[in-house]
A and B are shown apart, each in its own frame.
Chain A
């Protein structure tokens, strides 16, 4: 009844969309895991990452896949400043403070970006635009293969950092038990800055890949992906990096599957339907642990 080639194509688009979501949600989860804060302005870091990439690209003409490193570094720095100036003073206070602070940051970043770059939508072109490669029975644009590869490399790097380095282990320990980590002498404030910075760096990577894929961007682009990233981390389990990865992939494929089978208007709704079903069956999310 359905053409297998078409279905594979839909899954491919879903995996591509999932890559953006995974990077965004993983960063969000890393921050939540260590600091236990809710940052609704996370999508704005994706937006700034997109603009940093585009600006460097327009100025230098460098390959945007190379600019991703610069974009991540810039956002790690910006993230560290935001953590130090905004979130640290309210850490441990009411959740309402976090919510309103991050909503305030959304407006500040959006209006700041509009002042610096203007609020017209923009786009850039990948140097590999128009090149397609055979992938089994599919013929797909090379850019999407690279985007998937870059996402995999970043996630592998993050995995190695968290598993194999002392700082990574400290970060995991803090994520598991913040007070316990403090008691054994881990400098959790240093880890707060680091995890917030890395989280923002991952959002920047998502922003770079967003623009490289040819999608337009403007200062208001971050809000919808941020909402989806929140849904993904709840779906995957708060604080769980594997949960964010599986949730992101599931979300991307479900969105595109719904658009194909049910129509475009169901694209956003289906993911939240899945979220509700998962939460009813398993309130902690797919990979979450009770108490998060």
Chain B
């Protein structure tokens, strides 16, 4: 009996110490890292949305081909699973799909977002669940500047309207204005007559504000002779263009989506007879835009950072070419710049999780704040992808392209004309160009 009691006591003590010394139960290792991609697969922005999704798929395939993302907490590589969320190009659709990705699919991180209006509609949900979100398409600075909700988990990996509005205005001042003055023997102090045609959304208004601010702040000799807006999705711009023509501009800066921009330039030149230089925002550097503007796009300008039809010489030319080739092999078409930034966004998401060493959202968010990774396929300031501490924006190097018509393919193709270190050809004022009033 005594021995039995002693035996039980020993067993209990042994069990107690065994319990104390047994390693804590490790959290179960997830079989995949879920990256939610919010893209416009349907609706008016579906061209760009599909390009973004397909580029993310190329990136995920590459990451998984290397075994996935190493997560220190589990001491292993975990594959990436992309979860598609179609925002239907609408605010309601965006809200619906963001909620689904976060609450049902339980994604670890989000990438994508094209329209600023659509993206801003579901930011409240992103803020509520504190999901790290790398925005790769919506260009309005309000995405990370707004103060009505917490945007601390949102990171902007595409130039904002502030950035390219300023860049394009400086190009006009430094390149187009002197060229017009020289060709038409205008005095050097003649104010350049610029007209704006912009989408009446956060995106278009952002460009308008950036142009106005750049002119005022830098005291540029540019006069805004007409500022016309249009509603998103409009297809008839003839009246607005007629009003712009009435103002006799030297150039017209168009802040529009590719489906709008591809109609604006033909309607301006073909229907209204507005034979001037048109400048387009970077999102128009997409195959559909080139197809839509056809010969009317000749000599027009696009501000860009990644083009489906040109690869600037430099250290990233091989990486860009490899991405384009992989994309073409998989999808049979070429990626646009929103695709390029979403491709990079997927890599950034993977790198942030790797640096965090866990799938904890707060750690991933901090890893994004601290991120310093080499540029991938787009030229970045200091050749590094990192986010500013104040508004979490990455800094891109931009360029300006001028299009030349190729009658064999029936479309125009771009050449870089600015800045000098990337320049492929000189900026040209065509013979048919008509300047504004002297």
Contacts and interface: CB of A to CB of B under 8 A. Distances in A.
Q: Do A and B come from one complex?
A: yes
Nearest to B227: A263
Given A121-B47, A215-B263, A264-B228, A9 B242 contact: yes
B246 A139 contact: no
Interface in B257-272: 259, 262-263, 266-267, 270-271
Contacts of B270: 129-130, 141, 214
A13 interface: yes
A10 B239 contact: yes
- What DSSP secondary structure best describes chain B's contact surface? helix
A192 to B, nearest CB: 33
Contacts, number: 82
B246 A259 contact: no
Contacts of A214: 263, 266-267, 270-271
B374 interface: no
Interface stretch (A34-42, A91-99, A216-224): A216-224
A100 interface: no
A185 B235 CA distance: 47
Contacts of B288: 120-121
Given A114-B42, A120-B47, A216-B259, A263 B228 contact: yes
A26 interface: no
Contacts of B200: 264-265
B229 A119 contact: no
A161 interface: no
B228 A120 contact: no
A86 interface: no
A123 to B, nearest CB: 6
B240 interface: yes
Given A119-B42, A220-B43, A259-B240, A6 B246 contact: yes
A44 to B, nearest CB: 15
A58 interface: no
Q: How large, as a class, is the contact surface on chain B?
A: 20 to 34
A139 B274 CA distance: 13
Contacts of A123: 262-263, 292
Contacts of B238: 13, 256
| Chain A CB within 10 Å, residue with most, of B44, B200, B262 | B44
B381 interface: no
A171 to B, nearest CB: 33
B286 to A, nearest CB: 11
Given A119-B42, A220-B44, A13 B229 contact: no
A9 B238 CA distance: 9
A125 B234 CA distance: 19
A57 B30 CA distance: 53
Contact of A267 (B234, B243, B263, B271): B234
B93 to A, nearest CB: 12
Contacts of A267: 230-231, 234
A220 B242 CA distance: 27
Nearest to A3: B246
Contact of B235 (A13, A119, A216): A216
Contacts of A125: 294
Interface string B248-264: 00000000000100110
10 contacts: A132-B273, A216-B259, A216-B263, A218-B44, A260-B242, A260-B243, A264-B228, A265-B229, A267-B231, A267-B234
Given A129-B270, A263-B229, 15 more contacts: A6-B246, A10-B242, A119-B43, A119-B46, A120-B46, A120-B47, A130-B270, A214-B266, A215-B235, A215-B263, A218-B46, A259-B243, A260-B243, A267-B231, A267-B234
